[in-house]
Structure formats: structure tokens, C-alpha cells
A and B are shown apart, each in its own frame.
Chain A
């Protein structure tokens, strides 16, 4: 079949750094073509070249067999190529309909015609299988609904090719399933779908063909038949990834180090209780918004809360994170960029921030000791950076997470709470983080892992507590760990039923 869009030998350099070299790709109508690769492999750059946001340094594009160059995203759109961005780019204070037609308002006599726009919005949203009110302000929508609005906005343009950049990053499994239904519908209409993701199970479920990039180079393009996630991971990383998760350390003791009873975080958590043992990796599962983050933010004094917290046999209550740190408990936020690291400061300042007392000599900071600690952290945590004077914001997601880990380990904690340890982290770094977490438990520390990735909870944790709607819904012991059991507790319904709901929704 003729390709609708073909890229030949595309290269892209930023200054002296070549981020893409000699990539070829062809996209056929009615196929879902996944592009996978680690962070920094060049997926997003390729996507931006194909959708006209940037021009390639070398190589050429062919649209329906004819060579073409795009002057910008608007030009690409006029040729039927639309991109659904990873970040939600909507004006929160405008309504759904206003957002859909932002910059391309339908006018009559020079004035915007709200009635027509509202009707067309309603139509297109119905096509996507949702009943969002066109007059609803976007700020009142859930993240998933906003994602749908963003897709609707992209599909408003007559399209031959739709590119999705990590569309499920903010979606729950049920919501992701309805997105897949939309993608399948697009495919059945003969639209070519370009799908970027590093969630390999999803790729397996939705893609027809897969192109793998690594370090800006084309590694392979294969049909999905017989291509299992494990093999995809091997192609992405370049080495065998069958052992993504380390062996679970057998150091878990019966000694309860922390016990939480009847914890209440107003508005988020009601009567949550759990215990944590020495040398244990305790998972916390559940849907986004189940109250896991808030529970632990309350625990370490970042939110107001009530409840009985017993640490090493003593009743404690922390008024701020400082007190929790002094007691040996650290919390690593899921929001690395917003709450974990100072993106505008360099690595040294970030590393020592939580433990400045350790680096003080008299009233002054000992910069030499800081530099030495940074050297050690770069070595021990394998933080990869072009230069040690880089700002934290210039690191990739994986290296930011390593830096955040290093920062909190400066405090010599006994209990480490990690919220979404591998969100936005590529698979090679994931493996390193998992090994590090296991090592902590082996050293006799206790770790809490809050994660929305069920595979991660199953592969890494001794025990998983599952929350639903602010309550602890139940606990899954090591022997019973399975996706099914976690999903059941997280949603209150069995997986087949969940899939049905998703299907009915779509």
C-alpha cells in the first residue's frame, strides 16, 4: 500500500549535537504506528519534525509520494497532519467550545458565532464517545476529559495523520482504554496514527507496527505480530531487559517500625491504617486521586492531618517536613519539577538543600564538602550530566529522579517514601532505580513505593496496600500479588467488568 507520509534519512542537529541521524519511516493509511525509545532517544524530535514544528537539518519528507517541506505546524495541519501534545495546552478559563475553536473561531458578520461552534463541539465530542458539556469551563474538567478535549481540538481539522505524544501519561487504565477505542475508530476510517509511548504493554495492545529509536538512530521497524514487550525493551535499551526487577530482598523482618492508625487528611483520606516493617518494600496502589499522595504528605507534616502515628514504638506527630526528616522519614514527591527540585539551580545546591546542616562549618556552608558530596552522588547514583554546572531543570527525567534520591539520602533516613518513582523515567533508568530501592531494603531501611504502574508494584514490593476514594480498600500479600487483585481493590470491580465499562463508555 502507498504510504501517506514518508520520511527519508531525516537528521536533526542542535548546534554541534546531532539528536537524530538518518531516520526513515513510512506511515500507511489505516495503521497505528508506534514509535518507542528511551527518553532522549529522539521520539519527540521526530514527532515535531513530522508535524512541522521544526525543520530537519538533512533528509526529506514525502506526503502522498510528493516531496514536501512544512513552513510550520499550521502548514502541516493544512496538509492534514495534526499532533496531540503530551502536555495539556488548553486555556483553563475558557469553555470547552471556546477552546476547541481558539484561533479558528467561526464568525458571522465579524462576530463569533457561539451557537454554531457549540453545536459542532457537541457533535465532535459525541463522536469521541463523551458527553462533556461544550459550555463547561475547562478548569472544571478532569485531566482525562481535558485530554479528550485536546484530542477533539486536534481532530477538528480535516486530518489524514494523527500523532499522539504519550497520550496516556495522565490517564487511568479505564480512561486509557477509552482512548484506545478512539484510536481504533480513527484507524478504521483510514487515518494513519502515529503513537509515541514508552508504556510497552499499551504499544502491544494498540499498535500495528513499531519503530524503535535509540540515541537518535533507527534501530528497527517491525510488525506487532510476535513482538513482545520484553523484546521491545531489549531493542530500546540495547541489552537484555528480562530482569527489569531485582530479586526481592529477603531481609524483611517482623519488626514493625512505623504504624499508622485511623489517619484522616481532611478532604482526601479517611481512617487509613497500615504498618511498615523494617527492611520492607511496601507498595501503595490505587487510581489517581485515591488519596495515596495526600496520606503520606499528611504523615510527614506537609498537610494537616489527624491520626495516631507510632514510630519505633513512640507516638509522633510532625508539623512540617523538617520534623519528619529529623525523625528519619523522607518523602520524595511525585511532582519532581514542582516540589522536588529547584529547576533553576545547579546540581550542588539541589543536592545539599535538605541536609545543609551537614555541610555547615560554623555559620558557613562548606562548598568544598558540597562539591565532594556531588562527586560521590554522581558516582553512586550514576547521574549522567554533560557538565556539573548544569541546572537541575536541564537534566532528563531519569537523572532528575536520581538527583532527588541522592538529595534525600543525604539525610540518612530510615524510612523512604517514594511517590511514583519512575514516572517519566526511561526503562534503563527504571531498572537502576528498582535496584537501588531493593538495595535500600537489603540495608535494613524501609521503603514505601506509591505507584500507578501495577507491574512496578508487583515486581518490586513485598506487600501492596490499595486505596480507593480515600479509604484503604485492602492489602495484597506477596503470594497473591497480581494485576487482577490490585485492580479489583482499586476499582471495586473485577477487570473484565472494568474493561466492559470502558468499552461501554467508548
Chain B
């Protein structure tokens, strides 16, 4: 191997664009072109906005999952956590008498607080119980899910106050300068997430922990605190997702958030984050979430895929998207 002493100042920063970080965007564009060819209605503004808006919940949750996974962890409980948080938020709103902004603010605070608490519980058990996160969050997944079923007595938790619903509704259906609120919400969450992951010591510690726990420990990284905090961030992201979710249908059911954990993990991986930890790509994650929703949309819009085969085609498209990404990496 020829190694040359690098002179100071020579070749400062790299100017080439990192193709690895770009590949989810390429996959997104390719899918969009495919969608347009399959059905011209695909490219209508309303359809595109629908799809991106719908991806908001998964995108926001997946931003949190990016932290957990970058740090070498895993959280399977997010779907159940979302259902529980939504249920408790609605029950809180139902128990309050007023129908003004402050009522909604209290409900929102309740949702965020509960999300953070659930995340903290996951984090503490994983960190101090020294149990595999897969098992811990599988357990809390069941606990959260049961709690919401119990709260709903097997039925549906519905926002009773009609005025409150109408007041809150624009948080999903409204838009600012033509951009739907949920899209703004997930862009803001992603921007903050990217800032934390890329630009703060905590973010650096997350990546270090995911790359190699021993190195992080020997380098004086407070690994217990960092690991616990990733789960708390995940919980807060679930809380934020719920803030956008509740105004859509105004209800939480035992099937709310079912399989969201897998969608969030898929979005994270499509986005280029390594499942074994050590690499985190927040913007890729957001694109991954949009890709997932886009694939489902194209399936419904297409006329030639039997409804019986939708799942198979979706799975195949996701695998092909990953293969394309991999080949982009190798060709580098």
C-alpha cells in the first residue's frame, strides 16, 4: 500500500457528493417516474401531497428509530406506543371540558410526555437490565398494545367533543402556503434530528456507540446515558407523530399503529442507515418513509396488479430498491 504523507492544506474537504447518501433519493425519483408511467393521475398535485402527507407518521417515528438504530439498538414497540399515546391523548381531551387551543395544548403535552416516558422505560430496561433491545421492546410492545385495548375496552377511543375535533382537524388536513401541516411537521422533525445527529456531541456519541460500544466506553463516552436518551428521543418522536395522527380520524383503536415498527425500521434501512449501527442518515430515513408510502400508492393506482398480489409486488419493489442502492455503492 502506498501511503504518502499528506501535506497540510492539500486537499481540504472532499467536494464529491457522497453517492451512498444520495441513493435513496435516486430510488425515489425512479419510483416517481415509474408511477407516472403507470398512471398519469399519479403526478397530480393532490395525489403527491396525499402520499407525502400520509408518510408523515412513519417518517417522524423513523427519525427517532434512526437514533436508536444508529446507536446499535432496536425499538419494536413504536407501533403499540403510538396507539397507547393516541388513546391516552384522546381520553385526556375527552376528560377536559373546554374546546379551545389550550385544551388541545394540554392534550399535546400529555401525548409528548407519555411518549417520552414510554421511551424512557424502554431505554432504562435495555440499559440497566442489560437485556437485548429486541426482547425488551417486544415485551413493551405487548404491554402498550394491551393497555390501549384495555383503555378502549376492546372498542374504539373516539374524540367525543365535536368542536374540539373541528378545531384540531387542520393539524392533519390544513396547510400553510399550500404545504400540508404534517409535511411541515416531519420536515421540521427531520431537520432537528439531523442537527442533533450530525452536529452535536450527543449525535457523535450515538454513532460511536453504534460503531463499537467498547471503543465508545474506552473513549469516555457516557454510553448508558446516550443509549437511554436514544430511546427517549424515539418516544418523543412517537408522541409528535401522534399529534399529527389524532386529528386525522379522531380515534384510536386496538389496530392503530399495527406494524408501524416494521415500516419505521424498513424506512430507516431504505434510507441507508446500517441495521447493525454506526451509520445514521436522517434525510435518507425520511425519503425511505416516503418511498414506502409511494409504493403502496402506485399499487392502488395501477390497474394490472391483482389485489391479491399487492403485498408480493410491494415486497419485490423494496428489495429491488435496496439492490439498486447496493450496486450504486459498489460501483463507486
Question: Which chain A residues have a beta carbon within 8 Å of chain B's beta carbons?
Answer: 17, 19, 40, 302, 320-322, 324-325, 331, 333, 335, 338-345, 349, 352-354, 356-357, 360, 363-365, 371, 375, 378-379, 382, 384-389, 396, 399, 407
Contact = CB atoms under 8 A, between A and B. Distances in A.
A365 B215 contact: no
Nearest to B209: A342
17 contacts: A17-B1, A320-B217, A322-B220, A338-B212, A340-B215, A343-B211, A353-B219, A360-B200, A363-B200, A364-B195, A371-B13, A375-B9, A379-B8, A385-B6, A386-B6, A388-B11, A396-B1
Leading 7 A-B pairs by shortest Cβ distance: A322-B220, A356-B201, A354-B219, A342-B211, A384-B3, A339-B214, A321-B220
Given A321-B217, A339-B214, A340-B218, A356 B204 contact: yes
Interface of B: 1-6, 8-9, 11-14, 195, 199-201, 204-205, 207-208, 211-212, 214-222, 278-279
Contacts, number: 102
A341 B216 CA distance: 9
Contacts of B204: 349, 352-353, 356, 365
B188 to A, nearest CB: 17
Contact of A342 (B4, B199, B208, B222): B208
B contacts with A: majority SS: loop
B215 A341 contact: yes
A343 B220 contact: no
Given A349-B207, A353-B204, A384-B5, A365 B212 contact: no
A338 B3 contact: no
Given A322-B220, A365-B199, A384 B4 contact: yes
A contacts with B: majority SS: mixed
Contacts of B200: 360, 363-365
B332 to A, nearest CB: 13
Contacts of B8: 375, 378-379
A238 to B, nearest CB: 15
A371 B201 CA distance: 15
Contacts of B279: 344
Contacts of A40: 1, 3
A386 B220 contact: no
Contacts of B11: 387-388
Contact of B3 (A333, A375, A399, A407): A399
A344 B208 CA distance: 10
Contact of A322 (B5, B13, B222): B222
Contacts of A341: 215
A352 B204 CA distance: 10
A318 to B, nearest CB: 10
A412 to B, nearest CB: 13
B201 A345 contact: no
Q: Select the residue from A325, A331, A386 with max chain B CB neighbours within 10 A.
A: A386
Nearest to A407: B219
A387 B1 CA distance: 13
B185 to A, nearest CB: 22
A101 B204 CA distance: 46
Contacts of A340: 215, 218
Nearest to A376: B8
Contacts of B222: 320, 322
A54 to B, nearest CB: 15
B5 A382 contact: yes
